[in-house]
Amino acid sequence: MTEPVGRQPGAGPAAGSERAAGAARPAPAEVLAAYAPAAGLPARVVPFGRARDARELRDLLARNPFLMAPMAGVSDSAYRLMARCGGAALAYTEMVSVAGIHYGGDKTWELAWPHDPEPDIAVQLFGSKPDQFREAAAGMRERLGNRLALIDINMACPVPKVTRKGEGSALMDDPALSARIVRACLDEAGVVVTVKIRRGRVDGVELAPEFARAMEDAGACAVAVHGRYASQYYRGQADWGVVSRVVDAVDVPVIASGDILTPQAAARVLSETGATAAMVARGSYGNPWIFSDARCMLAGEEPPVRDWAQRVAAFACHARLLAATGAHMARARSLATWYLRGMPEASHWRGRAMRCDTLEEFLALADELQAAMAGAGACAGVRVGTGERSDA
Ligand SMILES: Cc1cc2nc3c(=O)[nH]c(=O)nc-3n(C[C@H](O)[C@H](O)[C@H](O)COP(=O)(O)O)c2cc1C
């Protein structure tokens, strides 16, 4: 029998009573303590720690080389918490505008706010003005204190709205300015500063190895490389060869990014490229377990199989975290699509999720899903992310 995910005993107020009483939402830590175990996730997050230089950063990454990538519109505090419980060594904020910070937007600051159970985070900044980076780095240091693990500079975003202003991947055309930005952050951050780059800007013109060397000379303590040209956006296959070439070009740790969609790929990219760490982006959609599964693969072990009850429980836990961290509940609609991928009658359930607005509606849907899955006997384990069935 599966416990209804909306109403686990001893797990705080029932969905209905929350709505009826208009009670305060439980804190994120309470949500994790009550609901993460049903999803096969530990309720506590292991701190990443603080590195003073590239060598110490390499040591921290060696303990656990799997990171949750920055994803605009996705990697909010709830998402980061799920990834950390799922075994990510560290999770990045989405890219945070240094201009937004300069002009004092509270919404901008919120993007970089870790909610209580997050012991530390990687903050990614974007912009093009060294002085604004300096100000943002100082502000992060002051506001986040020990919870700031590192500052990463976005030199990878391909979106024209960003690159038109010389930000994101456009910085790869100007290594001198990019170096000044790294140094400006280093002056104020009090933590290691890293950069995230693309293979290059336009198809066929690979800039990454030389550019990475210039960023290392400027003081960057690690380089994350997304193996696609900016002109490719997210299309085509990521080239892991460029990750190897950057590994050969620099002494600081290299973090591989691009098409790391399964635990197998996460383990393989390390052995094939010599990268110190791997950054999981779209592979974490509906699959917070991918990080610990990747560690199983590294250790030569078979990762556990998750059944539908755990997937639905993970969705419900994630939805609760959205509410507990004050995020807009519309985000739970895309979460539903991701967590329920491959499920029997997925399109029906997706359609239902698209009509939900409140936490209570999402939880009621989750309860219905649990009942439907139990009724249909759809308890077979499914390898998340592949849809591959492990048994009958
Ligand atoms: C929805 C979405 C938002 C993203 N936002 C950011 C971002 O804010 N900063 C960044 O450096 N990369 C961003 N990326 C790129 C990812 O971090 C990653 O490098 C890329 O998706 C390649 O990995 P994948 O092929 O495994 O998804 C984003 C990717 C996606 C899919």
| pLDDT tens-digit readout, 319-351 | 999 999 999 999 999 999 999 999 999 999 999
Please say whether the beta carbons of 13 and 379 come within 8 A.
Answer: no
Considering the domain architecture, whether residues 125 and 227 belong to the same structural domain is answered as yes
Considering the domain architecture, whether residues 255 and 363 belong to the same structural domain is answered as no
pLDDT of 2 reads 32
Inside any domain, residue 327:
yes
Distance in Å, CA 334 to ligand 1 centroid: 16
Inside any domain, residue 80:
yes
Distance (Å, whole) CA 125 – CA 66? 21
b/e per residue 151-174 (b: at least 16 CB within 10 A): bbbbbbbbeeebbeeebbbbbbee
pLDDT of 381 reads 52
| Protein residue with least CA distance to atom 29, ligand 1 | 71
Domain limits for position 216: 54-298
Mutating to test ligand 1, I would choose from 67, 68, 71, 273 the residue with most ligand atoms within 8 A of its C-beta, which is: 71
pLDDT of 281 reads 98
Distance (Å, whole) CA 294 – CA 263? 4
Bridge partners of 226, per DSSP, are: 198, 257
Which atom of ligand 1 lies nearest, measured to the CA of 261?
A: 26
Residues with CB under 6 A from ligand 1: 69-74, 94-95, 124, 154, 156-157, 196, 226, 234, 238, 257-261, 281-283
Distance in Å, CA 17 to ligand 1 centroid: 38
Inside any domain, residue 380:
yes
Considering the domain architecture, whether residues 266 and 322 belong to the same structural domain is answered as no
Please say whether the beta carbons of 66 and 280 come within 8 A.
Answer: yes
Q: What is the DSSP letter of 357?
A: -
Considering the domain architecture, whether residues 36 and 65 belong to the same structural domain is answered as no
Please say whether the beta carbons of 15 and 23 come within 8 A.
Answer: no
* Domain stops at, among 298, 323, 347: 298
| Protein residue with least CA distance to atom 10, ligand 1 | 70
pLDDT of 23 reads 58
Q: What tokens does 359 get?
A: 């936490």
Considering the domain architecture, whether residues 219 and 322 belong to the same structural domain is answered as no
Distance (Å, whole) CA 294 – CA 308? 20
pLDDT of 72 reads 98
Identify the H or E element spanning 155. strand 148-155
Distance (Å, whole) CA 372 – CA 352? 14
Considering the domain architecture, whether residues 347 and 274 belong to the same structural domain is answered as no
Compute the 3-state secondary structure of the chain and give helix, strand, coil in percent, each to the nearest 5. Answer: 50, 15, 40
* Domain stops at, among 277, 298, 319: 298
pLDDT of 379 reads 52
pLDDT of 392 reads 23
Just list the catalytic residues.
157
Which atom of ligand 1 lies nearest, measured to the CA of 238?
A: 25
Considering the domain architecture, whether residues 203 and 277 belong to the same structural domain is answered as yes
pLDDT of 9 reads 26
pTM of the model: 0.92
Considering the domain architecture, whether residues 58 and 36 belong to the same structural domain is answered as no
Which atom of ligand 1 lies nearest, measured to the CA of 95?
A: 8
- Total domains in the chain come to 2
User: Side chain identity at 281, as an amino acid letter?
Assistant: A
| Protein residue with least CA distance to atom 1, ligand 1 | 71
* Domain stops at, among 276, 298, 320: 298
Domain containing residue 122: CATH number: 3.20.20.70
Distance (Å, whole) CA 274 – CA 253? 10
Distance in Å, CA 29 to ligand 1 centroid: 27
As averages over each run of 10 residues, the pLDDT of the chain (392 residues) reads: 32 33 78 98 96 98 98 98 98 98 92 94 98 98 97 98 98 98 98 98 98 98 98 96 98 98 98 98 98 97 94 98 97 97 93 97 97 72 45 26
Considering the domain architecture, whether residues 151 and 253 belong to the same structural domain is answered as yes
Considering the domain architecture, whether residues 29 and 131 belong to the same structural domain is answered as no
Comparing CA positions, the residue from 317, 347, 281, 227 lying closest to residue 37 is: 317
Q: What tokens does 380 get?
A: 């077979």
| Protein residue with least CA distance to atom 31, ligand 1 | 282
